[in-house]
Amino acid sequence: MGLRFYNTLTQRVEDFAPARDNTVRLYTCGPTVYSYAHIGNFRSFTFFDLLRRWLRARGFGLDHVMNITDVDDKIIRNAVAEGKSLADYTRAYTEAFLEDCAKLRLEQPERLVKATEHIPQMVHAIETLRDKGFTYDSDGSVYYRIQKFPEYGKLSHIDFGGMRAGARVDVDEYDKADARDFVLWKAPKEGEPFWETGIGPGRPGWHIECSVMAIEYLGETLDIHAGGIDLTFPHHENEIAQSEALTGKQFARFWMHAEFLLVEGQKMSKSLGNFYTLRDILERGYAPEAVRYLLASVPYRKALNFTFDGLKSAAVAIDRLRNFQLRLESGRFPENGGGAFLDRVAEARRGFEESLDDDLNTAEALAAVFEYVREANTAMDAGTFPAAAVAPARALLEEFDALFDVLKPTAAVDAISDTEIETLVTERSQSKKARNFARADAIRQELLDRGVVIEDTREGVRWKRK
Ligand code: AMP
Ligand code: ZN
Please indicate whether residue 30, judged by its CB atom, sits closer than 6 Å to ligand 1. Answer: no
Distance 29 CA to ligand 2 centre (A): 4
When pLDDT is averaged across residues 288-305 and rounded to a whole number, the result is 98
pLDDT at position 165: 67
When pLDDT is averaged across residues 186-211 and rounded to a whole number, the result is 95
Q: Does residue 332 register a pLDDT over 90?
A: yes
Among 81-85, 115-119, 407-411, 412-416, top mean pLDDT goes to 115-119
Q: Does residue 215 register a pLDDT over 70?
A: yes
When pLDDT is averaged across residues 211-235 and rounded to a whole number, the result is 97
pTM of the model as a whole: 0.89
pLDDT at position 456: 87
When pLDDT is averaged across residues 246-273 and rounded to a whole number, the result is 95
Spatial CA neighbour of 377 closest among 448, 415, 321: 321
Give the CA dihedral 265, 271, 274, 280, nearest 10 degrees. Answer: 140
Structure confidence at residue 162 as a pLDDT band (50, 70, 90): low
Nearest CA to ligand 1 atom 10: 228
pLDDT at position 414: 65
Torsions phi, psi for 167 (to 5 deg):
-75, 140
Distance 377 CA to ligand 1 centre (A): 39
Average pLDDT, the chain: 94
pLDDT digits (tens, 9 = 90+) for 370-425: 999 999 999 999 999 999 999 999 999 999 999 999 999 997 656 678 888 988 99
Please indicate whether residue 221, judged by its CB atom, sits closer than 6 Å to ligand 1. Answer: no
Mutate to test the pocket of ligand 1, among 27, 35, 41 (most ligand atoms within 8 A of CB): 41
Q: Does residue 3 register a pLDDT over 90?
A: yes
**Distance between alpha carbon 365 and the CA centroid of its chain, in Å?**
20
Q: 3-state secondary structure string, the chain? A: CCCEEEECCCCEEEECCCCCCCEEEEEECCCECCCCCEHHHHHHHHHHHHHHHHHHHCCCEEEEEEEEECCCHHHHHHHHHHCCCHHHHHHHHHHHHHHHHHHCCCCCCCEEEEHHHHHHHHHHHHHHHHHCCCEEEECCEEEECHHHCCCCCCCCCCCCCCCCCCCEECCCCCCHHHCCEEEEEECCCCCCCCEEECCEEEEECHHHHHHHHHHHHHCCCEEEEEEEHHHHHHHHHHHHHHHHHHHCCCCEEEEEEECCEEECCEECCCCCCCCCEHHHHHHCCCCHHHHHHHHHHCCCCCCEECCHHHHHHHHHHHHHHHHHHHHHHHCCCCCCCCHHHHHHHHHHHHHHHHHHHECCCHHHHHHHHHHHHHHHHHHHHCCCCCHHHHHHHHHHHHHHHHHHCCCCCHHHHHCCCHHHHHHHHHHHHHHHHCCCHHHHHHHHHHHHHCCEEEEEECCEEEEEEC
Nearest CA to ligand 1 atom 14: 41
Per cent of the chain over pLDDT 70 is 98
pLDDT at position 110: 97
Distances 188 to 125, 198, 203, 335, 393 between C-alpha atoms, Å: 19, 15, 7, 76, 61
Distance 210 CA to ligand 2 centre (A): 5
Ligand 1 atom closest to 304 (CA): 20
pLDDT at position 339: 81
**Distance between alpha carbon 124 and the CA centroid of its chain, in Å?**
29
Q: Does residue 101 register a pLDDT over 70?
A: yes
| Domains of the chain as residue ranges with CATH | 4-258 (3.40.50.620), 278-404 (1.10.730.10), 418-465 (no CATH)
Q: How far apart are CA 370 and CA 271, in angstroms?
A: 38
Please indicate whether residue 260, judged by its CB atom, sits closer than 6 Å to ligand 1. Answer: yes
Structure confidence at residue 199 as a pLDDT band (50, 70, 90): very high
Q: Does residue 266 register a pLDDT over 90?
A: yes
Contact predicate 75/116, CB 8 Å: no
Q: Does residue 170 register a pLDDT over 80?
A: yes
Structure confidence at residue 173 as a pLDDT band (50, 70, 90): confident
Please indicate whether residue 230, judged by its CB atom, sits closer than 6 Å to ligand 1. Answer: yes
Residue-wise over 269-301: b if at least 16 C-beta within 10 A, else e?
beeeebbbbbeebbeeebbbbbbbbbbbbbbbb
Distance 153 CA to ligand 2 centre (A): 16
Nearest CA to ligand 1 atom 3: 32
Structure confidence at residue 19 as a pLDDT band (50, 70, 90): very high
Distance 259 CA to ligand 1 centre (A): 9
Give the CA dihedral 253, 243, 221, 173, nearest 10 degrees. Answer: -50
When pLDDT is averaged across residues 330-341 and rounded to a whole number, the result is 88
Per cent of the chain over pLDDT 90 is 81
pLDDT at position 164: 61
pLDDT digits (tens, 9 = 90+) for 34-70: 999 999 999 999 999 999 999 999 999 999 999 999 9
Q: Does residue 188 register a pLDDT over 80?
A: yes
Structure confidence at residue 163 as a pLDDT band (50, 70, 90): low
- Give the CA diameter of the chain: 84
CA end-to-end span of the chain = 53
- Those residues whose C-beta lies under 8 Å from the C-beta of residue 65, and which sit 6 or more positions away, are 26, 27, 28, 109, 110, 111, 112, 113, 213, 214, 217, 218
